[in-house]
């Protein structure tokens, strides 16, 4: 089925593409190891060494690219046109990773890129250097067979995703316009090789500042305690989780499907399906006081609210305004740079179908389209009207000690991306 309707030359090029990737397995894994071994935690955001690993590889393989710098951060933008007309596919990944806390205990150093026990170890192995590798390999290997393709393939490997994308994908979309918007986006964020992701919750990041006169701890009659006020406010904010979104019918139907619910829980942990269409509230930062026997005069509370498809920030902020009418000691600030609306792409889009078909052809059938709870750069592309889909390695212990990715999962995702992009750019969009 995978080669139906193709010319003999195109079918031959398609088969050779996967053979070449498998033949170069050791080189591909070595590249991932070097990529992980080049630290790129954000913050602080220095991605120069990790970017150089990728640009050296692109240069060695004669793949066209340029660096677009934003606020001192390098973003790789590459593109090539095929000889025939066709769609424009964008490959998107990020170079920056979560920081490593000093007290985290690792079996292998977090920036070793060690290849041990069938896995590549290190910070960013899953989130998302394996996925960005898939984009780079797809771009390089399809450039070699571009005579068989139609349309345009664009690579965007960005340096700012972990802190919101202002100087990464969002910057490129605003500054380069149609050059990077394309007709569809394929992204390799961690997802689980049995799922693809087509939508994600929005984020609303808030800072609550609570003030009081303060006093000696022995005299609570002289001042309210901002920390206690914060505790009462937390309880009130929990009520936001009872709000009911206006979930689009296709998404509601998908979330009601037992197979989809099972896939969501398998990919993201038991109980995830139950909150996929719910508002969630997390108090991530609480800072108040400096001495145990002093009533503080100030407390800062930072809250991360996730917005499912079907509810917007205006509705949440209206509820919070009502709550804050009972808390005159509190002022609210929205962290605009870290707040984004939810985003949604049609799970029946041709690119989504091709991802599932490619995975099945490569030995992992039954890929299920599921929503994503975490935020990715796909939200920026979707907000510019570009259908965007995620297919990547299992998330495993991303962002935690002993982050690692199995070699087999890496190779499967690389091949799935390459096959999907090849078929999309050769008119194979209808399975």
Q: Is there a single domain that holds both residue 52 and residue 99?
A: yes
- The predicted pLDDT at position 4 comes to 54
- The reply to whether 218 and 109 lie within a common domain is no
Question: How is 367-415 classified by DSSP, letter by letter?
Answer: -EEEEESS--THHHHHHTT--EEE--S--TTTTSTT-EEEHHHHHHHHH
Contact 146, 28 (CB under 8 A): no
Please count the residues of the chain: 431
The answer as to whether 273 is a domain residue is no
pLDDT at position 158: 98
131 and 39 within one domain = yes
Would you write out the chain's pLDDT as a tens digit for each of its 431 residues?
344 567 787 899 999 999 999 999 999 999 999 999 999 999 999 999 999 999 999 999 999 999 999 999 999 999 999 999 999 999 999 999 999 998 899 999 999 999 999 999 999 999 999 999 999 999 999 999 999 999 999 999 999 999 889 999 999 999 999 999 999 999 999 988 999 999 999 999 999 999 999 999 999 999 999 999 999 999 999 999 999 999 988 888 888 899 899 988 888 889 999 999 999 999 999 999 999 999 999 999 999 999 999 999 999 999 999 999 999 999 999 999 889 999 999 999 999 999 999 999 999 999 999 998 888 999 999 999 999 999 999 988 898 999 999 999 999 999 999 999 999 999 864 54
Element (H, E) at 320: helix 313-324
Q: Are residues 71 and 141 in the same domain?
A: yes
Tokens 């390089």 identify what position?
Answer: 140
The secondary structure of 37-67 as a DSSP string is HS--BTTTT--HHHHHHHHHHHHHTT---EE
Number of domains in the chain: 2
Please indicate, yes or no, whether residues 388 and 293 belong to a single structural domain of this protein: no
CA atoms within 13 A on the CB side of 177: 1
- Beta-strand pair 215-216/294-295: antiparallel
Q: Is residue 185 part of a domain?
A: yes
Residue 276 preceded by cis peptide, ω within 30: no
- DSSP 8-state code for residue 148: G
Do 142 and 229 have their domain in common? no
C-alpha separations of 417 from 47, 99, 211, 371 in Å = 24, 27, 52, 19
Report the relative pairing of strands 368-372 and 195-200 from DSSP bridges: parallel
Q: Are residues 194 and 229 in the same domain?
A: no
Is residue 101 situated within a structural domain?
Answer: yes
Shared domain for 181 and 227, answered yes or no, is no
- Looking at the fold, whether 42 and 81 belong to one and the same domain comes out as yes
Query: CATH number, domain at 301?
Result: 3.30.70.360
Cα–Cα distance measured from residue 197 to residue 264, given in angstroms and rounded to the nearest whole number = 10
- Domain containing 315: what range? 202-243+279-338
CA end-to-end distance (rounded Å), the chain: 8
Bridge partner residues of 150 (DSSP): 84
Give the orientation angle of helix 313-324 with respect to helix 226-237, to 10 degrees: 140
CATH number (domain holding residue 23): 3.40.630.10
Q: Are residues 208 and 332 in the same domain?
A: yes
Q: Of 299, 318, 338, which residue sits at a domain end? A: 338
Residues 58 and 99 in one domain: yes
With respect to residue 30, please indicate whether it lies within any of the assigned structural domains. Answer: yes
Residue 239: inside a domain? yes
User: Are 23 and 168 contained in the same domain?
Assistant: yes
Looking at the domain assignment, is residue 3 inside a domain? Answer: no
Q: What is the pLDDT of residue 1?
A: 39
Other Cβ atoms closer than 10 A to 216: 12
Residue 2 within any structural domain of the chain: no
DSSP 56: H
Phi, psi of 257 (to 5 degrees): -75, 120
């Amino acid at each position: 089925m995978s080669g139906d309707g193709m010319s003999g030359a195109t079918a031959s090029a398609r088969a050779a593409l996967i053979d070449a990737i498998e033949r170069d397995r050791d080189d591909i894994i070595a590249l991932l190891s070097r990529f992980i071994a080049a630290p790129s935690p954000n913050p602080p955001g220095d991605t120069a060494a990790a970017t150089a690993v990728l640009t050296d590889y692109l240069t060695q393989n004669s793949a066209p690219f340029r660096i677009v710098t934003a606020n001192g951060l390098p973003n790789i933008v590459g593109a090539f046109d095929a000889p025939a007309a066709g769609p424009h596919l964008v490959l998107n990944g990020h170079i920056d990773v979560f920081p490593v806390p000093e007290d985290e205990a690792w079996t292998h150093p977090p920036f070793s890129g060690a290849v041990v026990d069938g896995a590549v170890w290190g910070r960013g192995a899953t989130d998302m250097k394996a996925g960005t590798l898939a984009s780079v390999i797809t771009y390089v290997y399809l450039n070699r067979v571009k005579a068989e393709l139609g349309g345009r393939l664009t690579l965007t490997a960005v340096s700012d995703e972990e802190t919101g994308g202002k100087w990464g994908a969002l910057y490129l979309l605003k500054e380069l316009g149609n050059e990077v918007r394309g007709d569809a986006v394929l992204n390799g964020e961690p997802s689980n090789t049995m799922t693809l992701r087509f939508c994600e919750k929005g984020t609303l990041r808030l800072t609550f500042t609570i003030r009081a006169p303060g006093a000696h701890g022995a005299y609570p009659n002289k001042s309210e305690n901002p920390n206690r006020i914060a505790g009462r406010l937390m309880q009130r904010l929990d009520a936001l989780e009872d709000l009911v979104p206006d979930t689009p019918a296709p998404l509601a139907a998908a979330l009601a499907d037992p197979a989809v619910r099972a896939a969501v829980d398998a990919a993201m942990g038991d109980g995830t399906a139950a909150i996929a269409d719910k508002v969630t509230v997390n108090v991530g930062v609480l800072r108040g006081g400096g001495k145990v026997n002093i009533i503080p005069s100030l407390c800062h509370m930072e809250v991360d609210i996730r917005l499912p498809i079907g509810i917007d920030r205006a509705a949440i902020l209206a509820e919070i305004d009502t709550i804050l009418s009972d808390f005159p000691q509190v002022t609210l600030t929205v962290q605009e740079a870290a707040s984004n609306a939810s985003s949604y792409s049609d799970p029946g889009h041709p690119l989504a179908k091709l991802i599932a078909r490619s995975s099945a052809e490569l030995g992992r059938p039954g890929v299920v389209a599921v929503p994503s709870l975490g935020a990715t750069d796909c939200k920026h592309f979707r907000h510019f009207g570009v259908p965007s889909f995620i297919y990547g390695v299992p998330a495993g212990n991303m962002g935690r000690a002993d982050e690692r990715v199995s070699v087999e999962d890496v190779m499967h995702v690389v091949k799935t991306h390459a096959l999907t992009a090849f078929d999309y750019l050769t008119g194979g969009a209808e399975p």
